[in-house]
Amino acid sequence: MLKKLRSLDWAKLSHVYGSAADLPDLIEGLASNEEEMRQDALDALTAALIQKGLLFSASIAAIPFLLELLENEKTPDRWSIFWLLGMLYQGKMQAGLKGDPKAEVQKGKAILVKFLSKAAAKTKKMQLEYNDELAPDLLADLKTWGASL
């Protein structure tokens, strides 16, 4: 899992705090068996990748790795990753930067649909109500992709 994560030159990418050289460790932290480490990684990634709805070059680069984590059933707390992908899906690129966050997330639509199809009904209902407030565009598009919501 995440075999290509360190092959990117993250230092050439940026997030809200500057160089994104710290992102591989944070992304790997999402797969930690320790709940506190996962939460710290999620908090740090959210703060670094999304600033008032604006995204950065590192935001786009992180999406394939977040999808990879979401796809792996051994990844703990995959709803947090789903939530982060939803936030990125809603975001807009910072002025002067290229990239389409929706298109990047849409590359993983099969992963997202499969994740939702396997989610327990009670948990899914609660999580989707929460995500509907944060990522309504993603949830609307998931319906058109055939996800059972």
Residues 80-132 have pLDDT tens digits of 999 999 999 999 988 788 899 999 999 999 999 999 888 767 677 777 776 66
Closest alpha carbon to 69 in 148, 17, 5: 5
Q: How many CB atoms lie within 10 A of CB 122?
A: 8
**Cα(100)–Cα(121) distance, integer angstroms:** 31
Distance CA 117, CA 113 (A): 6
In the chain, the amino acid numbered 17 is Y
- Output the pTM of the full model: 0.91
User: What pLDDT, in 10s, does the model give residues 30-87?
Assistant: 999 999 999 999 999 999 999 998 999 999 999 999 999 999 999 999 999 999 999 9
